[in-house]
Amino acid sequence: MRRLSILIPVLFATPLIAGDGLQSPMEQNQGRPPALRDVGFDQRLDEQVPLDVSLIDESGRDVTFGDYFAGKPVILVLAQYRCPMLCNQVLNGLVDALRKVAFTPGEQYQVVVVGFDARETPEMAAAKKATYVEHFARPGSEGGWHFLTGPKDSVDRIAKAVGFRYSYDAQTDLFAHASGVVVLTPQGKAARYFYGIRYSPRDLRLGLVEASQERIGSPVDQILLFCFHYDATAGKYSAAVRNFVRLGGVLMLLAIGAFMFQSWRRDRRATARTKAE
């Protein structure tokens, strides 16, 4: 299983393997170990996640998934709290990237981690939350991190909606699963997928801005969104070359206009001085 844990981040770091629709399930399964044949992370962009799902938060309180969509985008992570390797790598990578994003959990967005092992308890979720809130180390962000547990049927409804397929291995008592996170809109629709265990702070920021319908962010983000577009095949933002050229042309015209305006002002002042003399 340790070998599988090392292989899975590599296998699912690219959406071609993670099930982006370019390959049939039969083609995706060819050559995989048996434990991985039912595992994947399929992009289901604009799919509505079930907001009425009943779950339990880290304090033992009964909640619904929809409680975390109060007008803010949500970063969703599906994880096993006692996973010895991969889930920790996903959460570590997410926290490392979010530390470089100026947005703060609880203010501009929420982070919701849903445990897919139904045997895990709120106490396990609370311990995991404490670890990552401390690692994130941004005062006032504690209320934006949520670590949930729940029955299998509830978790599976969320997993199915976002295309997260995992498989239980009875011999090791662990789960084989893909690695990645999903950005959801405030209405609970899948907006962006980011695969692997390392995430670009720029991509996460742009994903949150787009998922929020541009209610957060700055004018700089709007320029970046003009120059970069989300590549669903790669699960990341790529440069939009045509838009770069267009933006360069606009900036060139503005520069020429500014130069001509300054030249006109100089000439006008010089003419005024000559007449005065």
pLDDT digits 0-9 by tens, 15-25: 333 333 334 44
Instruction: Write out the two tokens for 148.
Output: 């949930």
Q: Is residue 199 included in any domain, yes or no?
A: yes
pLDDT of the residue at 256: 60
State the amino acid at position 61 in one-letter form: R
pLDDT at residue 2, rounded to an integer: 40
Residue 276 counted as domain residue: no
For 139, list phi and psi in degrees, rounded to 5: -55, 140
The pLDDT of residue 270 is above 50? yes
**Considering the domain boundaries, does residue 235 fall inside one?**
no
- The DSSP line for 181-225 is EEEE-TTSBEEEEEESS---HHHHHHHHHHHTTTSSS-HHHHHHH
The mean pLDDT of 113-125, rounded to a whole number, is 97
pLDDT reported for residue 33:
61
pLDDT of 160 reads 97
| Domain-embedded: residue 42 | yes
> What mean pLDDT is predicted for residues 49-73?
97
Tell me how many domains the chain contains: 1
Hey, what are 207's tokens?
A: 């994903």
Question: Mean pLDDT throughout 252-264?
Answer: 60
- Residue for token digits 């609970």? 188
- Domain assignment present for residue 259? The answer is no
Show the CA angle centred on residue 238, arms to residues 87 and 6, nearest 5°.
Answer: 25
Residue 215 is predicted with a pLDDT of 75
Q: Give domain status of residue 274, yes or no.
A: no
- Contacting residues for 234 by C-beta, under 8 A, at least 6 apart: 14, 15
Query: Taking 90 as the threshold, does the pLDDT of residue 273 lie above it?
Result: no
Residue ranges making up the domain that contains 211: 2-216
pTM metric for this prediction: 0.75
248 lies in some domain: no
Extended beta strands in the chain, E state: 40-41, 54-56, 62-64, 74-79, 110-115, 145-148, 164-165, 167-169, 174-176, 180-184, 190-195, 228-231, 236-239
What average pLDDT does range 252-276 have in this prediction?
A: 62
* 159 contacts 165 by C-beta, under 8 angstroms: yes
Averaged confidence pLDDT in the chain: 82
Q: What distance in Å separates the CA atoms of residue 114 and residue 58, rounded to the nearest whole number? A: 10
Contact 95, 135 (CB under 8 A): yes
CATH number reported for the structural domain that contains residue 173 in this entry:
3.40.30.10
In a domain, 30, yes or no: yes
